[in-house]
Amino acid sequence: MIIDCHGHYTTAPEQLEGFRKAQIAAINDPTKRPAPPKISDDELRESLEKAQLKLQRERGADMTIFSPRASKMEHHVGNEATSIEWSRICNDIIQRICTLYPKNFVGVCQLPQSPGVPPANSMGELERCVKELGFIGCNLNPDPSGGYWTAPPLTDRHWYPIYEKMVELDVPAMVHVTSSCNPCFHATGAHYINADTTAFMQFLTSDLFKDFPTIKFIIPHGGGAVPFHWGRYRGLAQDMKRPLLTELLLKNVFFDTCVYHQPGIDLLFKVIPLDNILFGSEMVGAVRGIDPETGQYYDDTKLYVDKLGLNSAQLKQVYEGNARKVYPRLGKILDQG
């Protein structure tokens, strides 16, 4: 079985964006507050059949761990009420998709974060998504300001309530920023990758995993810059008299395979233990074209993984076993069939 741990609903019908525009326009004028978007099941199906489902089938993946479009979480827009409403709507759509295609999609939620608002306030939506909607994880934004990094590091006690809830519910978080409102940072080309690198270094310098020994985080986009600079990170930890990275954080931190060329995937698997890599493609996402050097889609990461020369047990681990381990609720769903 092949599980893609990183997919976003980037192809929603235009009503969703229409609602969002109206919602933003009404932030300062509640009389203009729009009704929730009306999207039929057929429209949901159509938006997926020509995109994520088509690509799943063509590429040979079975199931995608699916969450709302990351770049549109936009926690920096509006206020907490804006974020709560928008998160509920986006998460409910994911739940409908998972009901329409229970074999193809399983849900991960967007949290109603907002700059300056305690992460504890996101616990209600997380609990609703897991307990009522059957979701198996969440996307946690380490920078709700959208590129100004005004929140404390992920290792600060500021974040502990949401971690306690994650542990209680037995769900992991993918560390995932949204778009950037800071003109310095291109979203998918800089902000996403920087956030991955930043989160890893925050974990490296803290004792978070002493306080939460079972919590699990997925750092997407292959871990940002981390595998490329694995020697630097091993060396920094060593200079700081920290434990080996394997002991310090590799029981809790995992990387996906959203790296869009063979040399990158080769490096990832060379330096990061197989136990810590989950298959992912971020499809349909940041890069949509075909690589003229290979004639294949850049984001068809399964092709790169298949070329690594892993044996069948190793492939099973990357494609399925590690996802079952990191998302404990996934196994129950799969085994129920």
Query: Which active-site residues does the annotation give?
Result: 282
Q: In the bound complex, what is the minimum distance in angstroms from residue 44's beta carbon to its own copies?
A: 25
Q: Which 137-156 positions form the footprint of its own copies (CB under 8 A)?
A: 142-143, 147-149, 151-153, 156
Q: How far apart are CA 232 and CA 212, in angstroms?
A: 26
Q: Exposed (0-12), middle (13-18) or buried (19+): which is 100, by Cβ within 10 Å?
A: middle
Of the two residues 40 and 150, which places its CB atom closer to its own copies in the complex? 150
Nearer to its own copies, 69 or 324 (CB): 69
| Phi-psi region at 283: left, alpha or beta (left = phi > 0; alpha = psi -120 to 50) | beta
Using the rule CB under 8 A, is 264 a contact of its own copies? Answer: yes
Give CA–CA dist 243/234, Å, rounded.
Answer: 9
Long-range contacts of the stretch 271-275 (C-beta < 8 A, 24+): 271/227, 271/230, 272/223, 272/227, 272/230, 273/246, 274/310, 274/314, 274/317, 274/318, 275/250, 275/317, 275/322
Backbone torsions φ then ψ of 3, nearest 5 degrees:
-110, 125
Choices 93-101, 165-173, 264-272, 326-334; region in contact with its own copies by CB under 8 A: 264-272
Pair 53, 62: CB distance under 8 Å = no
* Bond prior to 284 in cis (omega within 30° of 0): yes
Q: How far is the CB of 201 from its own copies (least distance, A)?
A: 4
In the region spanning residues 289 to 308, those forming contacts with its own copies, defined by CB under 8 A, are 289, 291-293, 298-299
Nearer to its own copies, 1 or 184 (CB): 184
In the complex, minimum distance from the CB of residue 128 to its own copies, in angstroms, rounded to a whole number: 29
Return all residues near 315 (Cβ < 8 A) that are at least 6 apart.
Answer: 305, 306
Counting contacts by CB under 8 A, is residue 230 touching its own copies? Answer: yes
* Site map (CB under 8 A) of its own copies, residues 154-193, x = contact: --x-------------------------xxxxx-xxx--x
Question: Smallest gap, in angstroms, from Cβ of residue 266 to its own copies?
Answer: 8
Instruction: Determine the Cα–Cα distance for residues 37 and 13; give it in Å rounded to an integer.
Output: 10
Q: Tell me which residues touch its own copies (CB under 8 A).
A: 142-143, 147-149, 151-153, 156, 182-186, 188-190, 193-194, 197-198, 201-202, 204-205, 221-222, 224-225, 227-236, 238-239, 259-264, 266-267, 270-271, 286-289, 291-293, 298-299
